[in-house]
Amino acid sequence: GEDVEQSLFLSVREGDSSVINCTYTDSSSTYLYWYKQEPGAGLQLLTYIFSNMDMKQDQRLTVLLNKKDKHLSLRIADTQTGDSAIYFCAESIGSQGNLIFGKGTKLSVKP
Amino acid sequence: DADVTQTPRNRITKTGKRIMLECSQTKGHDRMYWYRQDPGLGLRLIYYSFDVKDINKGEISDGYSVSRQAQAKFSLSLESAIPNQTALYFCATGRKSTGQGSLRETQYFGPGTRLLVL
């Protein structure tokens, strides 16, 4: 079945880069997503990438996609304490585009 | 005003009780979802609906039921609550768009309902 895997925790120092990794199983996924969940809140779409792209950059965020290895990563440059949150990777599956979420990576940013 | 609202935000109930969680949206989206979030397990889909009266089971629908009587409302019921249904419950709406010839969906989440079943 479909599965999305992420490491559960990542700790970085303020100002460093953070890299959150994700692997997925459905090679037919057309879109892959990163969602952010701040403490006490619901998830919010951060960015997405279409499967025929290998990189997408949006200000401090860089998404890299290796479709051959089914590996997705999110890089946050100059990480700030406000970036502390849980980050979820998700893939869209099937003709209806339902989302399968990973378990989430909790990013802790130390001053 | 929030686009996706959930009530109640917190609820404590006892084993065997029936409870209902409500979700309302002002985004005008046809698609709505109910997820539960457990530590270390991420988000799991309970039920989803693509239109009024359309109901589909998700990954973990046992012990739950839903109702979609109007586009803006999607309610989740626990017919007889049990302690392992203690979790954080999220409602979401979905907006479809087409890009690169494929379907893409953005989901918008409510703030969550924290449920404790004693």
- The verdict on a CB contact (< 8 Å) between A88 and B48 is no
- The verdict on a CB contact (< 8 Å) between A101 and B41 is no
| Stronger pLDDT, B52 or A92, i.e. the higher one | B52
pLDDT tens for each residue of B7-16: 999 999 999 9
Tokens for A30? 């057309």
pLDDT tens for each residue of A54-101: 999 999 999 999 999 999 999 999 999 999 999 999 988 776 777 889
Residues 6+ apart with CB under 8 A from B106: A45, A48, B94, B95, B97
**Residue entry with tokens 């690169």:** B100
| Mean predicted confidence (pLDDT) in B37-55 | 91
Nearest CA in chain B to A7: B40
Q: What pLDDT is stored for residue B99 in this prediction?
A: 67
Which 3 state secondary structure label does DSSP give A104? coil
Provide the mean pLDDT of chain B: 92
**Contact criterion met (CB below 8 Å) for B20 and B77:** yes
Task: Indicate the residue of B92, B104, B111 with minimum beta-carbon distance to A41.
Answer: B111
